[in-house]
Structure 1
Amino acid sequence: MPTPDPYQTQLKSWLVAVAKRDGAAFRQLYDATSPKLFGFLQRILNKSEWAEEVLQETYVSVWNNAASYQAALAAPMTWMTTIARNKAFDALRRHDANVEIDADGFAQEVAQALESPDPTPLAALELSADAEALAHCLSRLEALHRQAIALAYYHDLSHSEVAERMELPIGTIKTWIRRGLERLRLCLSKRESA
């Protein structure tokens, strides 16, 4: 079993506490993550005052939605960055109704801005234009299948590590992941053709 990253573990524990309305944990989470999120938002919005406004909106959303965070689906920073990204796109639309957002156009630059010594798994996915569609399709999978896929792909665990963590036979895990991926492929192709 891989050694847990202490930084990610700390972020997760703060999010759990924030879900219980712990103001001190929220402050610690903010202090630890806001510089990175602010830099991320500045790259998207190109204006510090907009980035500050959206950063505030992001943390209000984190406070209000911490209970919905699922560690099995995404690392804490990935989850918060996705919220920030969506809020930034909303702000761009508010400020210019004619703006067209090309998520792929800045995805490379933003991915580089978010790089750290401990990169989160699938950091590129969180910036992808297809992330919303993937999240929708993942939500349609059975919970245990979704968990197996999340452990394998979001947390980069082998099938045997997933089986060990979920305390299930490896054959079951392989079947769930194979079937889950097939359902994801079908769901995504239906959304693409719609």
Structure 2
Amino acid sequence: MTTATDDFDYERALQACASGDRQALQDIYRQESRHLLGVALRIVRQRQQAEDVVHDAFMKIWTQAASFDPQRGAGRGWIYSVVRHQALNAVRSQGREVSVDEETAEALDAEHSIAAHAEVADAFELNMSLGRLNDCLARLEPARRNCILYAYVDGCSHGEIAERTRTPLGTVKAWIRRGMGSLKECMA
């Protein structure tokens, strides 16, 4: 059974679009628009937005048809990927935009003000703690301090630290364990 899709030459239509043939774009639209709308609708979940996605995708198909490379894939697949990417971008940008009424906006502003005040207090406390931590780290022997920093700041494994410091693995483990003990005592 042969369908209209089997007879349609997507690659030739895209080449024609790249050459400025508006009829070729209309032919692609007539051939695939309802299917592409279905793809967009499954991703964005709102008909109006799906229609906007398909419109924007066809604009992109028109302006970027020259970038289609038949060596990298089928024309129909390229068209569907343009629509899919356009729909995914719409969903991503939708997550950043939230419309709220005025009362909700005022409540959110008040909530953000309270949170910002708490963050400033937390930042002050954090700065004070880090100052104490720096003092405690300074009291450690440099080799032990470096092992702790490699482990907890750089995220190195004990084996990686042993390689970096050219120290036996057991020694690295002992230095970290003892150094952490010293830090706990100092911070208390």
When normalised by structure 1's length, the TM-score is 0.45
Quick one: higher RCO (CA 8 Å, sep 6+), 1 or 2?
1
Higher Rg? 2
